[in-house]
Amino acid sequence: MTFTDILDLSWRTVRSNRLRTGITVSIIAFGIMALIGIITAITAMNQSLTENFSILGANSFSIRYKERNIRFGGGHQSGELTRQKKGGNRQKNSSLDRYITFDEARAFKDRLAFPATVSISKFANGNATLFFEDVKTNPNVRVIGGDENYLLNSGYVMDQGRDFNKLDIESGRNVVIIGSDLVRKLFKDKPAYAIGKIIRIGSGRYRVIGTMKERGASSFLALDNIAIITYNNVRRVFNNQGSYNLTVRANDFKQMDAAIGEATGVFRTVRKLNIKEADNFYIDRSDSIVESLKKTLRYVRWAAYIIGAITLLGAAIGLTNIMLVAVSERTREIGLSKSIGAKGKTIRTQFLWESILISLLGAAIGIVLGILVGNLAAMFFKTGFVVPWGWVAAGVLICFATGLFAGLYPASKASKLDPINALRYE
């Protein structure tokens, strides 16, 4: 009997026991679906992170009073992922959580003589609703107080209108620059029409002086669903007691380390720290944020490995049990095959391939479902269609090995049956 004949006979046997085969295939498929689905989703998240943070530039860094909190969506308090900063800036002193004050932020900007651009910003609201005439946005707009350098340091580009000037900032008057999502919602995607219009942010009335070009949708940062006012307006209107943030953009990437060193020294002086005191602030490089988030996602990846391994182990045990039942049910058939000349090797190969085919069926269904489920995350994060080809190949190999492992004992048992005793079996 050729290998093709054995394979054909194995496939016909698998198809003849549809209920039993279907149950086992489903168990394997769910295990592979969980593994491939989570890996696909993580791949999509990694792509989104890389795309959305890369625009911040590798030559910028921020100074904060504590670890960075990254918001998933527009909210300020919900869904936060705290970035654990490693390195020399992680301290354990009592003054660690002291806010960066207005005076400290202004003093730092005035004193930093390094060839770099400094921006001062202050968070105002993460769940604001904006109104124009009878149109309003969802209550998920981020309102940030910035200065004349905020757009440059944050990677935004003006589309229509103008940036803040010195009078806007010093007076804290009610002017605002809005993102492309807000232009689309409030002004029917007409940036030029938006300039000069009066909108409401909560109960305050603001004149639109500028609109920004689209940076691309991001479920992590809501990059275009943003309204930027001046930090002095935040002080005057929002009565926000939180910390100020400082962003520094070095003119040359090669001078990044020198810029961080100079900024650290200047800000230590601003914070009035003596030589023996540790830093009571954090410095975040924009290119390190992505790596920190990806490191957090590795824990999710390990969870996928564990879920897949447990499910496949259960599937292997179930498959072994089903193959043993098949051996018992087909004992007379095996005895008849041996009595007319079938060798034990042929019987063993047939049962092994039955087990492998069942497992590979589960792999095929699980991979398709896993890719589809995982790409729901790709749609959410607005990345391209993701197919983790390496894990697809790994899934096939894992299921092949599972089927082989599960079928070894039943196939060996079938091949060693005595034909006379097998023919007598009832």
Write out pLDDT tens, residues 164-222: 999 999 999 999 999 999 999 999 888 899 999 999 998 899 999 999 998 765 545 56
Average pLDDT, the chain: 82
Q: Which of 53-57, 155-159, 245-249, 346-350 has the lowest mean pLDDT?
A: 53-57
Q: How confident is the model at residue 290 (pLDDT cuts 50, 70, 90)?
A: low
Comparing CA positions, the residue from 269, 265, 258, 270 lying closest to residue 115 is 258
The pLDDT value given to residue 287: 62
The pLDDT value recorded for residue 375 is 86
Strand partners, 210: 161, 177
Does the pLDDT value for residue 263 go beyond 90? yes
220 closest CA partner among 277, 275, 285, 142: 142
pTM of the model: 0.57
What is the pLDDT averaged over residues 373-387? 78
Mean pLDDT score, 292-313? 76
Residues 5-50 pLDDT 10s: 777 877 887 787 788 788 888 888 888 888 888 888 888 877 776 6
Alpha-carbon distances, residue 407 vs 33, 253, 260, 351, 357 (angstroms): 22, 59, 61, 7, 11
Residues β-bridged to residue 81: 70
Relative to beta strand 60-64, strand 282-285 is antiparallel
d(CA 346, CA 338): 10
Q: What does the pLDDT read at residue 66?
A: 72
Asked whether 271 and 128 are in contact (CB, 8 A), the reply is no
CA-CA distance, 218 to 380, in Å (whole number)? 9
Contact partners, residue 413, CB within 8 Å, separation at least 6: 324, 327
pLDDT value for 74: 43
| Residue pointed to by tokens 């010093």 | 170
- In angstroms, the Cα distances linking 265 to 223, 274, 278 are 32, 11, 12
Instruction: Tally Cβ neighbours within 10 Å of residue 31.
Output: 28
Ramachandran class of 342: left when φ > 0, alpha when ψ lies in -120 to 50, beta otherwise:
beta
CB of 38 closer than 8 Å to CB of 304: yes
CA dist 61 to 133, 191, 269, 417, Å? 39, 30, 19, 73
- In degrees and rounded to multiples of 5, residue 8 shows phi and psi of -65, -40
Query: What is the pLDDT, as a whole number, of residue 425?
Result: 64
Identify the pLDDT of residue 227. 95
Question: Measured between alpha carbons, how far is residue 320 from residues 110, 130, 218, 347 in Å?
Answer: 74, 62, 47, 16
Share of the chain above pLDDT 90, in %: 31
Q: Supply the pLDDT for residue 344.
A: 83
User: Mean pLDDT, to the nearest integer, of 59-77?
Assistant: 62
The lowest-confidence range among 50-54, 59-63, 367-371 is: 50-54
Q: What is the pLDDT of residues 93-114, one digit of tens each?
A: 434 568 899 999 999 999 999 9
DSSP annotation of 76: S
Domain ranges of the chain: 3-50+293-424, 66-280
| Sign of the alpha-carbon dihedral angle for 92, 93, 97, 101 | negative
